[in-house]
Amino acid sequence: MITISILGLDQYVVGHYSKENTENIANLLEVSPDDVNFYAPESMVFHSGVEQTSWNTIVIVRAPERENVFESKLADYLIKTLSEFTINLEIEFEYFAEGRHYEHINSSYPRFIAEENLVDVEGTNGDEQDDSDEDEEEADPRDRADLDPNDPNQIFLGNAFAGKQEMLDGAAEEKENAAPKKKGQ
């Protein structure tokens, strides 16, 4: 099993990169594509207190010792292909001895989730409903654990104009009532 950890790149970029490059990397290492995995934690790289995402990327390749003969070729390939997504790139190799890797594969399920075996849980299951008449609830940041409503840098997901029309109507009515009346009115 070869694990390529990519720190300092957006996880969705790594997901796309993985889809486009797994087979080439497997061919380069003379292994099955099933032996190559990518790890993209939701994290950031910092240097002297300054966030470095997409500027400085650190790649750590963990592989069995037998793969060290391909190290230079893999490093060249990673530098060439990942340079499209980052300014600076650093690659480290960590090897483990044969017999230092254990796994359990559940034979009741596919080995990997793939496009062919994805299940659309939001799709229709024969009883399609027309939701066009129903009022959709507005997104509420309090419903999302990853959003902090007290963070001044957080994007506001609510209706910024809620209640403003009533305020405008009230102000217009007040102005009308406060205006001096002309004779004959």
Distance CA 31, CA 2 (A): 9
CATH architecture of 2-103: 2-Layer Sandwich (3.30)
Give residue-wise pLDDT tens across range 124-182: 555 555 555 555 566 555 555 566 666 666 666 677 788 888 888 888 888 888 877 66
User: CA–CA separation, 145 vs 133, rounded Å?
Assistant: 29
In one-letter notation, the amino acid at residue 107 is S
Rg (CA), the chain: 28
Provide the residue ranges of all domains of the chain, joining segments of one domain with +. 2-103, 141-176
- Of 34, 139, 14, residue with least CA distance to 82: 14
pLDDT in tens, 79-119: 999 999 999 999 999 999 988 777 777 887 777 777 777 77
Q: Which residues are CB-neighbours of 57 under 8 A, at least 6 positions away?
A: 6, 7, 8, 9, 45, 82, 85, 86, 88, 89, 90
Average pLDDT, the chain: 82
- Please state, in angstroms and as integers, the Cα–Cα distance from residue 142 to each residue in 3, 32, 128, 150, 163, following that order: 36, 45, 30, 10, 19
What is the C-alpha separation between 68 and 59, in angstroms, rounded? 16
Using left for φ > 0, alpha for ψ between -120 and 50, and beta otherwise, residue 87 falls in alpha
The whole-number pLDDT of residue 174 equals 84
